[in-house]
Copies of this chain bind each other. A is one copy, B any other.
């Protein structure tokens, strides 16, 4: 039906990202067509799940055939809104912030880093990966000039809320927070938290569980 304004589960969005990843692998391997059954096996999900997930956005397959890999990648990226350039900015130019600025994959995937902000006077003015580090207090002013859509926070945790405030104040509606701290934002701002210790905890728990049950 693909009617808009229907609620799409968060889990669906997460799986869509996995589908892109797997489809791009398939494409590199020269595969043209894939069935929901095979795609499902690779993603470790149920085939119905995939068809259901895709149905939220439209009809992308051909009955009796499957999905054309290239077309499906394009369709999913369009559905997610990642078929265009997103202007992003990094706040907190320390170890991690620098690593992200130097990571070329961002540009490759349409996330162009157009701003680098820090509060440390020794860092302000420095050129990192072709970008001048700007004082984070000037974020709003700069945002009006360059247009920031997504903010990436890589400050220490106790500074994450302040960085958030700068971003929100500048009208940024999407935030990725690498600092291990929860942040408060207005309802119309989206936050995603990235913390790989969460994954380590999950693995440790599962390994413990499996070890006990045998």
Contact = CB atoms under 8 A, between A and B. Distances in A.
Contact of A202 (B4, B13, B209): B13
Interface in A68-118: 80-82, 86, 95, 99, 105, 109, 111
A190 B68 CA distance: 31
A22 interface: yes
Interface stretch (A124-132, A139-147, A162-170, A192-200): A192-200
A38 interface: no
Interface residues of A, number: 63
A22 B195 CA distance: 13
Contacts of A174: 203-204, 206-207
Contacts of A173: 207, 210-211
Nearest to A200: B111
Copies of this subunit: 2
B210 A190 contact: yes
Contacts of A2: none
Interface in A47-85: 80-82
A135 interface: no
* Central interface residue in A81, A181, A193, A195, by most chain B CB within 10 Å: A81
A17 B201 contact: yes
Interface string A11-27: 00110111011101100
6 contacts: A18-B198, A21-B195, A150-B207, A173-B207, A191-B203, A194-B196
Given A17-B202, A150-B200, A194-B199, 14 more contacts: A4-B212, A10-B202, A18-B193, A18-B198, A22-B182, A25-B181, A81-B205, A82-B200, A150-B203, A150-B204, A173-B207, A174-B203, A174-B207, A192-B202
